[in-house]
Amino acid sequence: MFRCQYAPRNIPKGVFLLPLTVLLIVVLLPFIRNLNHWSSKIYASSLEAKETRICNLFSGNWTPYPKEPYYSTETCPFRTDKQNCFMNGRPDREFLKWRWKPFQCELPPFDASQFLKLVMGKSMAFVGDSIGRNQAESLLCLINSVAHPKDITTKYTTKNDTFFRWWFSADYNFTVTMLWSPFLVKFIDADVNASSFYRATKLYLDEADRAWASKIENFDYVIFSTGQWFFRPLTFYENGEVVGCQRCEKNMTELNLYGYRRAFRTALRTVRNLKGFKGLALLVTHSPDHFENGMWNECGACDRTKPFTMEERQVYKNGDLLETLHQIQVEEFEAAEKEEGRGKGLQFGLLDITDPMAMRPDGHPGRYGKVVDKNVTINDCVHWCMPGPVDTLNEFLLYTIKLQAENGLLCLLGIGSSSVLCSYSTFRSLEMQLFNNDMSFFFFMSFHQLPHEALNSIPLNITFYLQLNTLSHQYYPVE
Q: Catalytic residue numbers? A: 130, 380, 383
Name the β-bridge partners of 49.
none
CB 263 within 8 A of CB 184: yes
CB 177 within 8 A of CB 127: no
DSSP 8-state assignment for residue 450: S
Query: What is the arrangement of strands in the sheet containing 201-208, beginning at the earlier edge strand?
Result: 185-189, 201-208, 234-238, 241-246
Residues 6+ apart with CB under 8 A from 105: 51, 52, 55, 57
User: φ and ψ at 390, to 5 degrees?
Assistant: -60, -25
Pick from 234, 258, 105, 259: which is nearest to 184 by CA? 259
Pick from 407, 401, 409, 430: which is nearest to 420 by CA? 407
Residues 6+ apart with CB under 8 A from 81: 87, 88, 370, 372
Pick from 171, 162, 67, 48: which is nearest to 120 by CA? 171
Question: Rounded to whole angstroms, how far apart are CA atoms 194 and 191?
Answer: 6
CB 78 within 8 A of CB 176: no
DSSP 268-290: HHHHHH-TT--SEEEEEPPPPP-
Strand 174-180 and strand 164-169: the pairing is antiparallel
Name the β-bridge partners of 187.
203
CA end-to-end distance (rounded Å), the chain = 40
**Cis before residue 387, ω within 30 degrees of 0?**
yes
Question: Rounded to whole angstroms, how far apart are CA atoms 268 and 270?
Answer: 5
